[in-house]
Chains A and B, each alone.
Chain A
Amino acid sequence: QKEVEQDPGPLSVPEGAIVSLNCTYSNSAFQYFMWYRQYSRKGPELLMYTYSSGNKEDGRFTAQVDKSSKYISLFIRDSQPSDSATYLCALNAGGYQKVTFGIGTKLQVIP
């Protein structure tokens, strides 16, 4: 079983839709949860950072962590064509532990 599972997509949605991106994981030691956005032919940029369970909101983006289910989500409200990118989840057990990345979900927002 992989440490992190993420559907590679592609996921196509109409502009204005609510997008839900998800990852599941198997290692209960993970405590830090991150989402990166990667535009085509660019480096990933850190979008959201969450510690432990709960929700975190930043503008149109909400990160949600359910440690009991080992399930993390990123919600994008009022999606825009500029949100079209690959979204990678990233998990870490804390301190200097290696960060484990998901394979990334490719999102396309259709105008």
Chain B
Amino acid sequence: SQTIHQWPATLVQPVGSPLSLECTVEGTSNPNLYWYRQAAGRGLQLLFYSVGIGQISSEVPQNLSASRPQDRQFILSSKKLLLSDSGFYLCAWSTTSGGGNEQFFGPGTRLTVL
């Protein structure tokens, strides 16, 4: 069966510090991968998605970036965090076989920028 991991689970960072969040998927090959941010009362905001190694599409211009160095690894980064980057970050995967593109989410990382 497929499993998705995210770490760290929680993170408290000062403004201006760098960020690296990691997501890995097990039990599937060539998944589509996604980064979402969920802020209170604002729903899920798609940040980045990737259909393959090195292929990243950005949905929202911001000071975040994403990379996919391996087939089942997805990384979210920032060089300098802003207060507005606080939120709950979720990684998700889906298969590339069409259908409804149903996505399966990881446990999330709660980021607080002070």
Contacts and interface: CB of A to CB of B under 8 A. Distances in A.
Interface string A47-72: 00101000000000000000000000
B63 interface: no
A32, A44, A101: residue with the most chain B Cβ atoms closer than 10 Å: A44
A8 interface: yes
A92 interface: yes
Interface string B80-114: 00000000101010001011111111111010000
Nearest to B104: A46
B19 interface: no
B34 to A, nearest CB: 9
A7 B88 CA distance: 21
A95 B44 CA distance: 20
Interface in B9-44: 32, 41-44
Q: Is the interface of A mostly helix, strand, loop or mixed?
A: loop
Interface in A81-111: 88, 90, 92, 94-99, 101-104
A42 B109 CA distance: 9
B105 A43 contact: yes
B110 A41 contact: yes
Interface of A: 8, 31-34, 36, 41-46, 49, 51, 88, 90, 92, 94-99, 101-104
The 10 closest A-B pairs by CB, nearest first: A32-B100, A43-B105, A103-B43, A101-B44, A43-B108, A92-B100, A44-B105, A95-B98, A43-B107, A92-B101
